[in-house]
Structure 1
């Protein structure tokens, strides 16, 4: 017994000394493969419903290598997805070894894997030699790029650092990944209508099926949809012949609140439950305040966003269940104030980018290509992840080259054959000619390219894109700014004024102070300008107003708009909401009675607005190396919350008379207004202008400020 105990302890110690290995692959390939699998699960009334843009695939042949120096021999175990061979210092091992011994000294290990159906991947476990991001990979493109960015030796090979996720068990293949599930019971069943209490997503489970007959399941985000034989978007037609009572979990996941079950024949079912499918992400971000309705709006927004956070950030759980770049861009921003989950952002960015050659805009939409660039920029600002920027920059270049090659004679972006100019779902919105909105996004994309080129060490590119951005910005104001209307006009074809370019130019900080103030009144607060009815663009409209310190106005808008959905019984926020509609008309869209998505990621924007513009926390240097906290109650009596950062959470409690802030890493500045002279025993408050003050915030500190909020 004693010997067995010693042996167990030795085995435990041996295992404990092993470094953590993980499955690795060519960066971006697993993300593309997984997104293809996920996006092609959509059905519409039982019919396969694929995406309508070009889908890329992974490289089927991959070479992994690692240079090692060992002081003593080491045994290494090899796992792979695909057919593989192993070489040591260029010499192949015989057969397909699962365990090899590496002698002491300096060596190069190569593992070459072929897999057409799944992504070639390896898991290497030794004592010191493990598979991780330090391994280099190539798909044998026969091009080598040195650290200066210059191509040389065309016969050599371009190696990149391997990609990975959190697949740390050699027995669980990356291709077998599924999201976790947990049982969930219905809250009510009456006359065949099963109500799960709120919008949800997962696999319906039929419990205690016995007999012979047919079952039809009609799914509905609303009761009206579930009760409609012809209108329900998701339907299952099932046939059973069970002599003994059995349970059956349906193989396809669905979005629903209600399920209506219609049976035919001699068949009995005890009850219907489900397996709720979810992304296992943390929620370090939080918000609470003195307004109960706003708290409910935040909670529903959080639940909406969580449902649409899956393997990737998708648009909606019923329709479309796809990865759209415009939707994803807003999800990234909400993520930074709730989950701060870098992995889902990176997977989504890689999946959207796809492979070369670039033959169309992302999702076929011009503005969605630009949002992709903006997403890279914001990711860097919130995380400070320079390694990713260096990795993704070579994929940014061909996409930007594609855009530059589609400019008109004046250097402006205009829709061409095959392009979808989306902007927003809005009646009568002109898409003709070069639009100011597209030039604005294009300009920001060029600025992003300059930033990323600089990080990647490509100074000529950085200067090239900087000059292109400056030139386009000058054209933007020369062509589209109208002094008489004190706003940017919509296009070169007509001088109509819309909200889109004007509100983006505010938080992009493209306007001077005088222009900002003018646009606030001529556009944003002007009821004669066409109103926005989608949460998608209300996101940006309200952000622009918050950026101009209109939090009191925005708070009322949030309560009216998102509160309006709650008053109609919404348990998640919708793709579109028009308060002038009534009854079942709220559920119609795209010419279909129940075509509207009632759980849409872009409906969750209060998460972002409340974190960035009410709690007031935002980075001013990449990765929150420096940041600003500028709380704005906006008419609330108190609010509190946490904002996640790479170095921990920043927490705040703010009332009309006291603020308490606990910092994480980085150096911050607290900016606030007070009608009386504020005090703080742990820091020195400086007055910057009338009734405005600043306090320097050090890492890992707590500050209590006594003040009187300015109304």
Structure 2
């Protein structure tokens, strides 16, 4: 992850160029097993029980391309059918090189979706002195440098590549040397033979073959050794799933799950920056403190390819709800926790290479994410031993945050004196609503964990402190005239998306403030492709508006939590737009106001922190959430949002929770099966016309009143608390 604040260390000119308009990305429809499945058929109708057609993960570690995107002879030649490159045997395609790579033929192969791993090319034959065979990779056609001047001159040097090296060809800087293509050596090979790329490429959709020098190469097959999620044996057999009557929402759920799956890799395949001058792109560094035998979850497949606290805030819950690869989550969280500094500060990212070492204390915001991630891990898994192991680090991190807050006589955090002003989205060393709301939530989380560990005194201290911080936010940062929370005390004239959505989610905003804050965003921040970080009318040149997936997830969650169905509209607009572009199967790091990736050819188009809707659709729409550690207690509170039905399974340490709901005419039916040793809350939406609610055939609510113990209503739902394990049907008529 390269947050905008980190760009200052690259070059201000590069930042300006990165924010420039760069055209429209190519329309993209990923490949799937069925030609008439949801990814190809725009009129596809979802059917209950049929979730597997949505899964993008391959069923095999060998992934084959789906088509030849382009065969361009340029100053060389291409003879035979280019389609021969799609299969092993049955003919071949001959590439004849020119004097050098600038005139080489280009064979652009489309794998139909984002993939990751080692490219394999079957070479049937070659001239007696074969030319050098090289491969370029790109997540999109828009940024595959197929024209000479593309990507600041990359097309002349590494045709078909996007840019994965932060020091060469970053937007606004010239591309001066080939640091992106991979060599596929033919020297000494007895042909025919399969040549395997020895260098991992962690994320791409398109592979372009070109020749460096004269001579011929005959190709009769290509594939990828898929290396993502190396310890997941059943790649496409997800332990959790989601399905609804809305085809687009279904695709968004599975694209999010696949994005995180692509980002999951062996812990010795990180990137260590900066590269030496002329050094090619590679991913072979060990994540410090990670178990080498276990996977980790990187922020992006292509780049930065390290573990980040903020990205894990989304990636870990996605993993819990889809693949359930707990080993990868544990290894990632532990590797970061082990980096804690003596004063309690928690570095934001894996300390791999000098670039990350230079950012050791940059990101104060990300200390809050460490606390959040450990809490979420305990809540989803119930792993008390893991919590106890890292409890000292949690208390030290929280104490560091409190020490920063104590420096302010008005009781709010600001990171200027700590020198840790780095932020996911903008530069501000002030007393922000966003950061303080995150800290207030941390304190509530610490209170819950302390209580579970039997420390009532610490729980009370954390709880009281959370209430104090929330009051300070409301007293100092709420603008009643605007009806929204300010960015900070220092920048009072901006009302950003993150401040207002997070205030709602963290319980800072009461009912009226929550309603008004979300209304402000709807009126001022919503634009063509979603909700912008700040209104385009914000009078502050240091706050250029863009689309960011992290706060957009916050906003969609906040809207659904307050009963606002426009949260689903936001998901369809922002994430749906991305699925209609390349690579059409994974989600992007950031997006510019014109709907294009934020960093052009350097953009990461498979970035796990953009997968929030996978969590939202399971926890809000299907409605399944843990309320006790490891789902010892749970809640199933559906949100229909105009949908006709939804269903899914949620893996838990005690077995899966299966839930489904359907609305038909004047009847809403919820079916839930919960594992042994658990209990929870069931809920059905009601209106003034609802006359009866029955649980397993027995009336529990009649004409506005409960008729059984443990049953309550709030005008929007009827709740049944204490439902035991087993199967239950709750029906409202």
Q: What is aligned with 1:647?
A: 654
Q: Normalising to structure 2: TM-score of the pair?
A: 0.66
Alignment of 1:335 onto 2:309: no
Query: 394-403 vs 631-640, which deviates more?
Result: 394-403
Deviation at 1:588, TM superposition (A): 5.1
Q: What is aligned with 2:120?
A: 205
Indicate if the aligned counterparts of 1:226 and 1:259 stay in contact, CA closer than 8 A. no
Alignment of 1:270 onto 2:220: yes
Q: What is aligned with 2:134?
A: 216
Q: Among residues 170, 176, 190, which one is paired with 1:244 in the alignment? A: 190
Q: What is aligned with 1:187?
A: 66
Give the 3-state SS of the residue equivalent to 2:376 in structure 1: helix
Alignment of 1:581 onto 2:528: no
Question: RCO (CA 8 Å, sep 6+): is it higher in 1 or 2?
Answer: 2
Indicate if the aligned counterparts of 1:524 and 1:541 stay in contact, CA closer than 8 A. no
Give the 3-state SS of the residue equivalent to 1:391 in structure 2: helix
Give the 3-state SS of the residue equivalent to 1:510 in structure 2: coil
**Residues 476-519 of structure 1: per-residue CA shift (max 9 Å, x gap):** 22222233333322111132222222211212222222322232
Deviation at 1:615, TM superposition (A): 0.6
**Residues 267 and 358 of structure 1: CA distance in aligned 2, closer, same or farther (over 3 Å):** farther
Q: Among residues 668, 681, 685, which one is paired with 2:700 in the alignment? A: 685
Give the 3-state SS of the residue equivalent to 2:660 in structure 1: strand
Q: What is aligned with 1:259?
A: 207
**Residues 32-80 of structure 1: per-residue CA shift (max 9 Å, x gap):** xxxxxxxxxxxx9xxxxxxxxxxxxxxxxxxxxxxxxxxxxxxxxxxxx
Alignment of 1:567 onto 2:567: no
Deviation at 1:461, TM superposition (A): 4.5
Matches of 1:209 and 1:442 in 2, distance apart? 61
Count of residues paired in the alignment: 521
Matches of 2:668 and 2:442 in 1, distance apart? 41
Q: What is aligned with 2:412?
A: 412
Give the 3-state SS of the residue equivalent to 1:186 in structure 2: coil
Q: Normalising to structure 1: TM-score of the pair?
A: 0.68
Alignment of 1:439 onto 2:436: yes
Query: 261-270 vs 319-328, which deviates more?
Result: 261-270
Report which of the two has the higher share of strand. 1
Deviation at 1:238, TM superposition (A): 4.5
Matches of 1:464 and 1:652 in 2, distance apart? 38
**Residues 697 and 642 of structure 1: CA distance in aligned 2, closer, same or farther (over 3 Å):** farther
Indicate if the aligned counterparts of 2:549 and 2:610 stay in contact, CA closer than 8 A. yes
**Residues 598-657 of structure 1: per-residue CA shift (max 9 Å, x gap):** 111122222111111101111222222222211111111222212222222222222213
**Tell me, which stretches of 5 or more residues in structure 2 are unaligned?**
1-9, 11-58, 72-106, 147-154, 164-179, 266-294, 349-361, 527-533, 536-544, 707-712
**Residues 339 and 272 of structure 1: CA distance in aligned 2, closer, same or farther (over 3 Å):** closer
Q: Among residues 660, 671, 687, which one is paired with 2:683 in the alignment? A: 671
Matches of 1:374 and 1:242 in 2, distance apart? 54
Q: What is aligned with 2:421?
A: 421
**Residues 357 and 588 of structure 1: CA distance in aligned 2, closer, same or farther (over 3 Å):** closer
Give the 3-state SS of the residue equivalent to 2:305 in structure 1: coil
Matches of 1:374 and 1:684 in 2, distance apart? 40
Matches within 5 A, 1:6-155: none
Deviation at 1:667, TM superposition (A): 1.3
Give the 3-state SS of the residue equivalent to 1:257 in structure 2: strand
Matches of 2:598 and 2:392 in 1, distance apart? 43
Give the 3-state SS of the residue equivalent to 2:210 in structure 1: strand
Deviation at 1:696, TM superposition (A): 4.4
Matches within 5 A, 1:219-230: 219-228=137-146, 229=155
Q: What is aligned with 2:609?
A: 602
**Tell me, which stretches of 5 or more residues in structure 1 are unaligned?**
1-43, 45-179
Alignment of 1:325 onto 2:305: no
Query: 292-301 vs 192-201, which deviates more?
Result: 292-301
Q: Among residues 340, 351, 362, which one is paired with 2:347 in the alignment? A: 362
**Residues 289 and 490 of structure 1: CA distance in aligned 2, closer, same or farther (over 3 Å):** same
Question: What do you get for the CA RMSD once the two structures are aligned?
Answer: 2.9
Matches of 1:681 and 1:406 in 2, distance apart? 53
